[in-house]
Amino acid sequence: MSDIKKIVLAYSGGLDTSVIIPWLKENYHCQVIAVCADVGQGDELAPVREKAVKSGADKVYIEDLKQEFLEEYVWPTLKAGAVYEGKYLLGTSFARPVIAKALVKIAEQEGADAICHGATGKGNDQVRFELTVKALAPHLKIVAPWRLWDIRSREDAIDYAEKHNIPVPVTKKRPYSMDRNIWHLSHEGADLENPWNEPKDDVYMVTKTPEQAPDKPTYVEITFEKGIPVAVDGVKLGAVALLEKLNDLGAANGIGIADIAENRLVGMKSRGVYENPGGAILYYAHRELEYLTLDRATMHYKEQVAVRYAELVYDGMWFSPLREALDAFVNATQATVTGLVRLKLYKGNIMSAGSKSPYSLYHEEFVTFGRDEVYNQKDAEGFINLFGLPLKIRALMQQSQKEGKGQ
């Protein structure tokens, strides 16, 4: 441990990282530089600097990463349509590489020897942080206290914090493990560890429950340019302002609650409850526009790519050659994903209310049930005969085999 003189800590101000600072001081006798990444935690950031100093940090950085987070991590994943196991919109997963990238930058700037994170040995985040460091700065050492210390539970961590007079936002009355950024808020632990337990209403801190939502629907129009959302209700907005607007609309209407027992990378299932109001709206709207603008073969292949893309993001492989290669494919598909989508939000539901694009492949003259002059229905007979020829030949073979056995 003596060869480590300076450590950069991924600091959130939460329970785990609050107790890590004095633990590092006690065990490594080194300088600790706390780096708090602002990825949209909101008012959670207000006391962070003071808390870090009181906990023993030698230096504190607060890095505003919100725009970079959305434009360079969230939007590419949205364009890919990547959703992990059908429900999880990857809120924590793609926040980790942007945070770790900032840690590496500051570690090199400060001449630090190691990077420290507060992820547990049972979770996915340890992989995401460390793979990013390996990809960007393989010379830096990794310190992961949850794999080293004697603390074995959140209750133990709370006791350690109380013993060292460290104020933390978690109590034994509300022992949920939470992760928040501008894209989502996650909840794990406590009564949620039993998948039979329905989440209590007081779990939700962003989104109203559908029962609490208004009895009147809300309509919203979202404009996309090449797969990227650029305007809400006709008003052009930057990435941060746009998502904040949709978060407010979605939360008010009970949108974006996801409850999933997901497969962690480390081999176990974990139950998470996620609040993703703006994200749920954007994924739905983006998909609606793709229905209009992508041809059948491209859309179906892109669905396969989306599954793999989601796995890569979930597994912490953001800075991998495959993810970068898949981005090239996705960006090619998004060249025509430009247009306007109108949605109806009502008590936790998102419903289509119209979409249009200058690149729409929908042609009313061809699909109408009325009289048309462009489609010869007799052509269908030859198509069906050729398309079904393998089935016919197989059936003839089976019939021949059956008759032969009967002789």
| Residue list for the binding site for L-citrulline | 88, 93, 124, 128, 177, 186, 262, 274
In the annotation, is 96 catalytic? Answer: yes
Helix, strand, coil percentages (3-state) for the chain, rounded to 5, are 45, 20, 35
| Helix extents (H) in 200-359 | 239-252, 277-293, 296-314, 321-333
Distances (CA, A) of 57 to 15, 20, 71, 139: 15, 10, 31, 23
Q: From CA 376, how far away is CA 368, in angstroms rounded?
A: 13
Q: From CA 376, how far away is CA 10, in angstroms rounded?
A: 65
Q: What is the C-alpha R_g of the chain?
A: 26
Nearest residue to 256 via CA among 91, 97, 93:
91
In the annotation, is 371 catalytic? Answer: no
In the annotation, is 16 catalytic? Answer: yes
Q: Detail the residues annotated as belonging to a binding site for L-aspartate.
A: 120, 124-125
- Parallel/antiparallel/unpaired status of strands 6-10 and 114-116: parallel
Q: Which of 55, 177, 270, 357 is catalytic?
A: 177
Q: Are 366 and 382 in contact (CB under 8 A)?
A: no
Q: Detail the residues annotated as belonging to a binding site.
A: 10-18, 37, 88, 93, 118, 120, 124-125, 128, 177, 186, 262, 274
Q: Are 314 and 260 in contact (CB under 8 A)?
A: no
Q: Which of 38, 96, 154, 270 is catalytic?
A: 96
Residues 6 or more apart in contact with residue 203 via CB below 8 angstroms:
176, 187, 192, 273
Buried b (16+ CB within 10 A) or exposed e, 309-331: bbbbbbbbbbbeeebeebeeebe
Q: Are 88 and 260 in contact (CB under 8 A)?
A: yes
Nearest residue to 12 via CA among 200, 225, 204, 186:
186
In the annotation, is 320 catalytic? Answer: no
Q: Detail the residues annotated as belonging to a binding site for ATP.
A: 10-18, 37, 118
Structure tokens at 373: 């002059």
Q: Which of 125, 154, 270, 357 is catalytic?
A: 125
- Parallel/antiparallel/unpaired status of strands 31-38 and 257-263: unpaired
Nearest residue to 341 via CA among 290, 277, 393, 265:
290
Which residues share a beta bridge with 31? 6
Dihedral of alpha carbons 60, 63, 64, 65, sign: negative
Nearest residue to 142 via CA among 153, 126, 156:
126
User: Would you name the residues annotated as active-site residues?
Assistant: 16, 96, 125, 177
